[in-house]
Amino acid sequence: MLALEFVRTLIIAIDGPSGAGKGTVARSVSRALGYRHIDTGAMYRAVGWKANLEHIVLDDEAAVARLAERAQIVVEDDVVTIDGHDVTRAIRTPEIDRAAAAVARLPRVRQVLVERQREAGRSGGVVMEGRDIGTVVFPEADVKIYLDASAEERARRRAADPAHTGGAAGQAAVAEAIEARDRSDTTRTASPLTPAPDAVRIDTTDLPIHEVVDKVITLVREKVGRT
Ligand code: DC
C-alpha cells in the first residue's frame, strides 16, 4: 500500500536530443503509470510561435521573456494552447523548430518556463520530458532517464513523423536541421543539453519502443522497492 502511494507521486524526468524517442516513451510510461505527461519542448515551441505571430525578433530577450511571462500556456493530453489558440499542430513545423531553439537560448525565457514547469510537476505523478528536466527543473527527480540515438536514426524518425508537418523535406535536409538544432541546444550557455550525472542513459537506436518503455517502468519499480 505504501509503495502504491509512493508510486503515484514520483517525478520522472526524460531528457535527450530531438528524435531520441522522448515523446513516445514519455507518453507510454505516463499511461502505464496513470501519470500526467508534460512535454516542456511544446512550451518553448508555443512561445516561439507567438513571438513569430507578434513579429518579435527572436533574440530580443526582454520582449520574448515579457511575452512568455504574460502568456497562458497549457500543455495537456497532447493538446497545446497559448492564450486560447490551439497550436497543437502549428508548432510542429521546421519554422517553429528554429523559433523554439532560438527562444530556448534566452536565459530569462528559460527562467519563466522552468518556474511554470516546477509548478506543474511539484506534486508528482508526472513524466516530464525536455532537455534540462533532470539537471535544472527537477534535479531531485525520482527517476532520471537520458535517451539518445544515432544522428542517422534520429533524422530518419523525424522525417517519418506524421505530426511534423511543413514540407516533404528529405532525410538529408532533416538531418541537417536536426544537427543545427543539436548544436544550438548543446552549446548555448543557458542550461545546455547534457545528461544529469545520475541519469540512466538508454541508447534507443536499435531498441523497439516497448523495450525502452519496459526498461523505464522497471527502473520506476526498482525505485519504489528501494524506498
Ligand atoms: O523537444 P522539442 O524538439 O519539442 O523542443 C523544442 C526546442 O526547445 C528545442 O530546441 C529544445 C528546446 N527545449 C529546451 O531547451 N528545454 C526543454 N526543457 C525542452 C525543450
Q: Residues with Cβ < 8 Å from 34, sequence gap 6 or more?
A: 8, 125
For ligand 1, the distance from its centroid to the CA atom of residue 77, given in whole angstroms, is 18
Q: What is the pLDDT of residue 1?
A: 45
Bridge partner residues of 81 (DSSP): 74, 86
pTM for the whole structure:
0.93
* Ligand 1: nearest atom to the Cα of 91: 4
CATH architecture of 9-221: 3-Layer(aba) Sandwich (3.40)
- The kind and range of the H/E element at 148 are strand 143-148
Q: What is the pLDDT of residue 101?
A: 94
Alpha carbon distance, N-terminus to C-terminus of the chain: 13
Cα dihedral 6→116→27→185 (10° resolution)? -120
Average pLDDT, the chain: 91
Q: Residues with Cβ < 8 Å from 100, sequence gap 6 or more?
A: 41, 44, 45, 47, 48, 91
* Ligand 1: nearest atom to the Cα of 181: 10
How far, in Å, are 17, 62, 145 from residue 194 at the CA level? Answer: 9, 26, 12
Per-residue model confidence as pLDDT tens digits over 12-48: 999 999 889 999 999 999 999 999 999 999 999 999 9
Q: Which of 15, 25, 38, 40 to mutate to test the pocket of ligand 1 (most atoms within 8 A of CB)?
A: 40
